[in-house]
Structure 1
């Protein structure tokens, strides 16, 4: 594994087989590369994998540049590709990371091969806005501890939370200790709420896997249907259960789907 920083962005490269295609993974609102731990073994068996922490999170610069936006997040992906000597790559993005991937396809189409958007969207939605408003108010009023304690309600199915309560409680101190600055988190949320490329989806010619969960309470699956319908070359896969973070609750199902898609088998 190689690691480094580029313009304040922490990155890692995990080599795969000789001449393997590159895949860059972009996390959701939390921004940490650690989100993709359930996918790493499956991916590194066949691909060169690039991880990075979003700007403002994890091991990257903990501040944001002025006028933060999803377009800026896409530009950060370009910076990581440049730093790792990667001309083109597949991109797998969860929510915020998937939206950044869509923006990358528009702004820098030559840097992208296949795109996987997990629980992403193409334009503002009232339900998503209400969820983010609740999380914002919680953070502003009570701080990161309360935000982190409530986060599982938005990420996981109720029965999974009940069965994994001890694990969630064990992880919470780590998440609180590494939580982004409040102004950074609010700016990231506002960037997602402002993201709107609904009238430009027809310009994205790349093959796109739109992956979603039927029980996602944060990003309803109808947003995935709308996204897939607007893309010229999309494949839609909706799992029946798993919540917003079904990459973690159903890793074997998602990994099988992911590897098949990236390998061109579907």
Structure 2
């Protein structure tokens, strides 16, 4: 087990490859990227990590945690493992961390990919958070975990891979964080509103949305792309909120060429 700055991390891919850090969403676990690791690590030095308060990282999450402090964790991790600059792919909350990193320490970031993220929290997404918190508080962690696939995956995929999801849910329950940790992470998401600061991000940014996302409306991602001065595209494709896991080959077909320098825009 590798640990730095209180964070569990893993390194994959060629030691001399360009660094690429993957940041998961609300669940916080590096396991989210399992379906993508082989394709990305074939070319890049991939850095996986568990967010503070989740998974195998330090479980102590301060009450005043913000998206900015989560970006600070990324900086501390990069410092500890001796990486000066990296590409960054963030899913949902992880994408917000990438935006905060671009604002807080722009020299540490090369290219940024935000998957199913937003510029401003959509009221429908806020409603989903309310529902999930109510399940957690009123019915407990098992109800929260077992409801999670409803928000993350298309029904056809969840049905086809239900045995795999059952194993995932059992693992999540075995390492479930305290309720206050989930509350603090959702509170940080609710509070994050970079507003006009997004105009200061001049890094190349790829914003990916999915038309069948049941948690974050694709229009929220489009608004993010429009708010950024150097967002190259806002691509819609299927796969629900967890599209990189549901449709990994399609995800790689978009991400890898863009990271390699191909430039195109198909946002309508």
TM-score normalized with structure 1 length: 0.96
Counterparts of residues 89-168 of structure 1 (less than 5 Å): 89-168=86-165
Unaligned runs of 5+ in 1: none
CA distance in 2, matches of 1:38, 1:212: 18
Q: Alignment partner for residue 220 of structure 1, among 217, 220, 223?
A: 217
> For residue 260 of structure 2, what is the aligned residue in structure 1?
263
Q: Give the Cα separation in 2 of the matches to 1:63 and 1:125.
A: 29
Q: Tell me, in whole angstroms, the C-alpha distance in 2 between the residues paired with 1:126 and 1:199.
A: 20
Match of 1:11 in 2: 9
Query: Shift in Å at residue 167 of structure 1?
Result: 2.3
Once structures 1 and 2 are overlaid, which stretch shifts more, 93-102 or 162-171?
162-171
- What is the CA RMSD across the aligned residues, in angstroms? 1.2
Conserved 8 A contact 2:111-2:203: yes
Give the TM-score taking structure 2 as reference length.
0.95
**Given the alignment of the two structures, is residue 250 of structure 1 paired with residue 247 of structure 2, yes or no?**
yes
Partners of 2:230 and 2:6 lie apart in 1 by 34
CA–CA distance in structure 2, aligned partners of residues 78 and 34 of structure 1 = 21
**Deviation of residue 164 (structure 1)?**
2.1
Residue 235 of structure 2 is matched in structure 1 by 238
Shift of 1:212: 1.1
Which runs of 5 or more structure 2 residues have no equivalent in the other structure? 264-268
Q: 1:69 aligned to 42, 66, 69, which one? A: 66
How many residue pairs match? The answer is 263
- 1:15 CA displacement: 3.6
CA contact (8 A) 1:214 1:238 kept: no
Secondary structure of 1:92's counterpart equals: strand
1:37 aligns to what SS in structure 2? Answer: helix
Cα distance, 1:228 vs structure 2: 0.2
Rounded Cα–Cα distance in structure 2 between residues aligned with 1:259 and 1:238: 14
After superposing the two structures, state which structure 1 stretch, 155-164 or 108-117, moved more.
155-164
Whole-angstrom CA distance in 1 between matches of 2:162 and 2:9: 31
